[in-house]
Amino acid sequence: MAGRSFSLTPKKVPQVNSKFRTIKTALPVPESISLLETLRAHEPASMGGQPPIVWESATGCEVKDRWGNRWLDWSSGVLVTNAGHGRKEIADAIVKQATSPLLHNYLFPNEARAALAKRLTELAPAPLKKCFLLTTGSEATECAMKLAKTWGIKQGGNKKDVIVSFEHGFHGRTLGAQLAGGIPALKSWITHEHPDYVQVPFPGDWRLKPEQRTFAAFEQALKAKGVEAKNVAGVIVESYQGGSASFMPVDVAKQLREWCTKNGAALIFDEVQAGFGRCGTFFAFEHYGVVPDLTCCGKGISSSLPISCVLGRPEIMDLYPPGSMTSTHSGNPICAAAALANLEILVKEKLSEQAAARGEELFAGLEAIRKQYAERVARVEGKGLVAGMHCVKPGTTEPDPDLAFRVVERAVEKGLLMFTPVGFMGATVKICPPLVISKEQVADGIAALGEAFAEVVAEIVKEVPASAK
């Protein structure tokens, strides 16, 4: 779990002054160091993992600090600002609601919550016709698993309570979410295996052999773990895995859907980072041509304030009687108003289609970079406006976290903003700009990323001792 943190010693970097990027100071900015040190002193170390630039404003695809630096954003925060940063329509909706004034009203009905639940269930395909609003993505995945277990137990008794999930999967950082997560390093604090949570290999993992990426392999893996199909309450899977941006094969998804139906297990797609146009369709699971029983949404739902939801089949969503499945901030009126304004933008500006179109250009550019460094970048995975570049030790499939980290660091120094690498060993450079990114901005970002790879690879080659060449 050893995370790498960025140095707080200012480094002189070449000045950048292009249409979308300006870097005119050392980085981190010397004047920002005391603020950065305050954060390091008063927050847990875990909060210090992102490039140390102090955001002062963010609009569209641009992030600025107060010292004149400007970044082209390829992070969307963390896949939140699908409609673009700082959208006026969303800010106006927030202000209108906040000054109405209604800041909070627990679960007493409010207009914004009613309008949002209705709108989300209109946008979701049948049978996902009920919506439970929550606050964070983890809360949504925890809730979906609870519903699946409750449904399973109701149908098949106490033994029908197994939640199947996938290796390398991520569903949040709370206990249930991490029991279902498939990243061992994140689970070291969970000292006992939980018999109801079982992980099997993810069929979209490119490191697996072709025969391991099949539905037969899924069934074999369950058998090897001693899980009988009749005891499975639910299968939870990210529509694409966040750590890699990899999708599972479509035929596996279709067979998984059939298997869940046949065995009375709830199929849960975790769309917390994949939904709301990100992958070129409104919901990412549309790529599979199947509909889950439950889906978890968050992040891009509001492009701003914290709000999440579970969308699902009424017979599962209605399992708990009034008052017994709630959350303090469920459907907070300001968050709901922000989400409604965001959904209007996504639909009106056809941002799913935009993501698909810009995605074509993005992937062409990223593939060109990959081909240039084919020994060190094994794959570019993803769809629409989410991509993962998988860095490997030369000519192997072994992850190269050092290359990924240095590329992101260099890109940031060039005015291209990305968050710290993610995924298997932290070797995936993740690219996820706001969906409003223009053609010109895609090209500009590709140019900056290409330069970052060129410089870092040249430095690494020089560092390798002559004897090892």
Q: Which of 75, 138, 178, 244 binds ligand PLP (CB under 6 A)?
A: 138
Q: Which of 149, 171, 287, 390 binds ligand PLP (CB under 6 A)?
A: 171
Helix axes 333-348, 111-123, angle to 10 degrees: 40
Q: By rule CB under 6 A, what count of residues binds ligand PLP? A: 13
Short-list 317, 327, 438, 449, CA closest to 385: 438
- The C-alpha atoms of residue 98 and residue 100 are separated, in whole angstroms, by 6
Tell me which residues in 57-116 interact with ligand PLP (CB under 6 A).
Answer: none
Q: What is the CA radius of gyration of the chain?
A: 22
Q: Which of 69, 76, 110, 136 binds ligand PLP (CB under 6 A)?
A: 136
Select the residue whose beta carbon is closest to ligand PLP and give its number.
Answer: 137
Q: Does 359 engage in binding with ligand PLP (CB under 6 A)?
A: no
Q: Which is nearer to ligand PLP, 270 or 444 (CB)?
A: 270
Q: What is the largest CA-CA distance in the chain?
A: 71
Q: Does 137 engage in binding with ligand PLP (CB under 6 A)?
A: yes
Q: For ligand PLP, which stretch binds (CB under 6 A), given 122-130, 270-278, 395-403, 430-438?
A: 270-278
Q: Which is nearer to ligand PLP, 242 or 399 (CB)?
A: 242
Q: Does 215 engage in binding with ligand PLP (CB under 6 A)?
A: no
Tell me which residues in 10-39 interact with ligand PLP (CB under 6 A).
Answer: none
C-beta neighbour count of 187 within 10 angstroms: 14
Burial class (CB in 10 A: 0-12, 13-18, 19+), 210: exposed
Start-to-end CA span in the chain (Å): 30
CB 275 within 8 A of CB 82: no
CB 17 within 8 A of CB 24: yes
Q: Which of 69, 231, 273, 420 binds ligand PLP (CB under 6 A)?
A: 273
Q: Does 382 engage in binding with ligand PLP (CB under 6 A)?
A: no
Tell me phi and psi for residue 34, to 5 degrees. -65, -35
Q: What is the closest distance, in whole angstroms, from the C-beta atom of residue 169 to ligand PLP in the complex? A: 8
- Under DSSP, is residue 340 helix (H, G, I), strand (E, B) or coil? helix
CB 137 within 8 A of CB 272: yes
Q: Does 298 engage in binding with ligand PLP (CB under 6 A)?
A: yes
- The C-alpha atoms of residue 264 and residue 2 are separated, in whole angstroms, by 40
Tell me which residues in 234-263 interact with ligand PLP (CB under 6 A).
Answer: 238, 242
Q: For ligand PLP, which stretch binds (CB under 6 A), given 55-63, 99-107, 130-138, 342-350?
A: 130-138
- Residues engaged in binding ligand PLP (CB under 6 A): 136-138, 141, 170-172, 238, 242, 270, 272-273, 298
